[in-house]
Amino acid sequence: MGFKEGFLWGGATAANQYEGGWNEGGKGLSAADMMSNGTHTTPRQITRTLEEGLYYPNHKASDFYHRYKEDIALMAEMGFKTFRMSIAWTRIFPKGNETEPNEEGLKFYDNVFDELHKYGIEPLVTISHYEMPFYLTENYDSWVSREVIDMFVRYCEVIFNRYKDKVTYWLTFNEINCGTMPMGNYLSLGILNEGTRDFTKQIDIPQLRFQALHHQFIASAKAVQLGHSINPEFKIGCMIAYMQNYPYTCHPQDVLKCQKLKEMGNFYCGDVQVRGEYPYFAKRYWEENDIHVKMEPGDEEILKNGTVDFYSFSYYMSNCVSHDPNLEGTAGNLMGGVKNPYLESSDWGWQIDPDGLRYTLNELYARYQIPLMVVENGLGAFDKVESDGSIHDEYRIDYLRKHIRCMEEAVNDGVDLIGYTPWGCIDLVSASTGEMGKRYGFVYVDSDDLGNGTFDRSRKDSFYWYKKVIESNGKDL
């Protein structure tokens, strides 16, 4: 029992939060490059032009662009079997709509993949991770326009052909289900709504979001089909932000509300991508929210023929759901939710729930019966560098240890789990707040929230711990 032979242990990152080099090597501007920093408690801002005096954390990020060799050597030292990263669309197609790619961008990822293979590390590549060419955001309203599908498919065609012998594992869209929520506008959909730069006050138009999401589904399904035709060995997955929710009480209205929330939040996208069709509950939701998803003839068939090979997801926390509006927001994080009295929270109000991961893995496997991968998990925390340079992050080890134990329980329950890539294995910029101080890594990056620092890397205590975990295939925790 326990993790099977060949289990894919590793770590996860995303180009926009990690790579830096935002205007180097012919790279175009992405929507993520237009997000200025936030703080521990205030969200980030999206600007239409780069403004003097504002700091844009994704521009420098962790400087992987210049330090990939050093970083990959550190991953190899920990014994990584896989490394989840994303390709920046804007390095390959700077505006997103060109027909010919940028060779310098392609070469950069060739170098990265070659470096990984030097150490026997399998790349796991997210094709689109919160990164939209800004030109498409401005001129096409991003995924709202159906034309963007062909541009994305062209991008996939180029990278699939170029890397067909270097990459086997692909994910189409990171946390695609964010599009079912207002925060999807600026994060996963790349839509810049008119009105205000503060995304908490953006005008949300569900019609646009759900139409954009439909286009992403079609783009994802076409990419899956295309990928398999280019290399039948490709394994292409979906990626869902899995928010586990529990009814706050056994009041039937809490239970029902929780069920409905999970349907739209967690299952809507996964069902389309795994089963190849919209779930039965979509229709009523559309009707009640005045959403009219425009589909073209042939779309149903495209969805049916482009189902994914495996299901991947991020898991950080769980929340409670109550029909009592007075309890909403008591969880104390930027995403809302009700406080669970049995759980502790991170400094950012994310409720820590390892058992919830076992529950989630069982729930997902029962529903889909395809291999699962946990491609994000971890504790965002402040780290303290001691005078001798050491970093004692026992809290992070504790979080990961408990989650790995629960994953193993799920494997013993019979779930087909194939890999685990904790988030931000080397410190990087936070997606929700833009802070550098919200750290997830086994490796510390010397940079503060405003990009001041040497960007030097150092090993935290968790680095040595994770190395043991991988060496023992999850036994030595």
Site string for ligand BGP, 120-139 (x = CB under 6 A): ----------x---------
Q: Is 462 in the site for ligand BGP (CB under 6 A)?
A: no
Cross-strand pairs, 374: 313, 420
Cβ neighbours around 464 below 10 Å, total: 13
Closest Cα partner for 82 from 5, 168, 8, 1? 8
Q: Is 311 in the site for ligand BGP (CB under 6 A)?
A: no
Cα 239 from Cα 228, distance rounded (Å): 18
Residue 15 or 29 having the CB closest to ligand BGP? 15
Min dist CB 381 to ligand BGP, Å, is 10
Please enumerate, as own/partner, the contacts of 361-368 that have beta carbons within 8 Å and a separation of 24 or more. 361/407, 361/410, 361/413, 361/415, 361/417, 362/410, 362/413, 362/415, 364/242, 364/270, 364/311, 364/313, 364/415, 365/410, 365/414, 365/415, 365/416, 367/267, 367/270, 368/270, 368/274, 368/275, 368/311
Cα 20 from Cα 108, distance rounded (Å): 13
Residue 21 or 434 having the CB closest to ligand BGP? 434
Q: Which of 430, 457, 463, 466 binds ligand BGP (CB under 6 A)?
A: 430
Q: Is 174 in the site for ligand BGP (CB under 6 A)?
A: yes
Among residue numbers 405 through 424, which ones bind ligand BGP (CB under 6 A)?
423
Of 48-56, 64-72, 319-327, 429-437, which part binds ligand BGP (CB under 6 A)?
429-437
Q: Is 241 in the site for ligand BGP (CB under 6 A)?
A: yes
Residue 356 or 380 having the CB closest to ligand BGP? 380
Cβ neighbours around 242 below 10 Å, total: 29
SS3 state at 467: helix
Residue 211 or 314 having the CB closest to ligand BGP? 314
Q: What's the token pair of residue 217?
A: 């589904």
Residue 257 or 403 having the CB closest to ligand BGP? 403
Cβ neighbours around 275 below 10 Å, total: 16
- Which of the following is catalytic: 175, 363, 409, 435? 175
Assess whether 471 carries a catalytic annotation.
no
Cα 102 from Cα 27, distance rounded (Å): 8
Q: Is 222 in the site for ligand BGP (CB under 6 A)?
A: no
Of 41-49, 155-163, 285-293, 428-436, which part binds ligand BGP (CB under 6 A)?
428-436
Q: Is 175 in the site for ligand BGP (CB under 6 A)?
A: yes
Min dist CB 290 to ligand BGP, Å, is 28
Q: Which of 3, 9, 11, 14 binds ligand BGP (CB under 6 A)?
A: 14
Residue 128 or 142 having the CB closest to ligand BGP? 128
Q: Which of 19, 263, 353, 376 binds ligand BGP (CB under 6 A)?
A: 376
Min dist CB 202 to ligand BGP, Å, is 18
Cβ neighbours around 262 below 10 Å, total: 18
Cα 127 from Cα 229, distance rounded (Å): 17
Cα 164 from Cα 156, distance rounded (Å): 11
Residue 387's contacts (CB-CB under 8 Å, 6 or more residues apart) are: none
Q: Which of 415, 431, 445, 469 binds ligand BGP (CB under 6 A)?
A: 431
Number of residues that bind ligand BGP (CB under 6 A): 14
Of 158-166, 323-331, 425-433, 465-473, which part binds ligand BGP (CB under 6 A)?
425-433
Residue 34 class from Cβ within 10 Å (0-12 exposed, 13-18 middle, 19+ buried)? buried
C-beta of residue 460 within 8 angstroms of C-beta of residue 442: yes
Cα 402 from Cα 395, distance rounded (Å): 11
Q: Which of 62, 244, 307, 314 binds ligand BGP (CB under 6 A)?
A: 314
Q: Is 57 in the site for ligand BGP (CB under 6 A)?
A: no
Residue whose tokens read 């019609």:
207
Min dist CB 443 to ligand BGP, Å, is 16
Min dist CB 298 to ligand BGP, Å, is 31
Closest Cα partner for 81 from 18, 9, 133? 9
Of 3-11, 80-88, 353-361, 431-439, which part binds ligand BGP (CB under 6 A)?
431-439
Cα 58 from Cα 54, distance rounded (Å): 12
C-beta of residue 460 within 8 angstroms of C-beta of residue 379: no
Min dist CB 260 to ligand BGP, Å, is 22
Assess whether 435 carries a catalytic annotation.
no
Min dist CB 144 to ligand BGP, Å, is 22
Q: Is 432 in the site for ligand BGP (CB under 6 A)?
A: yes
Residue 14 or 224 having the CB closest to ligand BGP? 14
- Which of the following is catalytic: 19, 376, 409, 435? 376
Q: What's the token pair of residue 134?
A: 């800004």
Q: Is 71 in the site for ligand BGP (CB under 6 A)?
A: no
Helices 461-471 and 394-413 meet at what angle, rounded to 10? 20
SS3 state at 101: coil
Q: Which residues bind ligand BGP (CB under 6 A)?
A: 14, 17, 130, 174-175, 241, 314, 376, 380, 423, 430-432, 438
Q: Annotated active-site positions, please? A: 175, 376
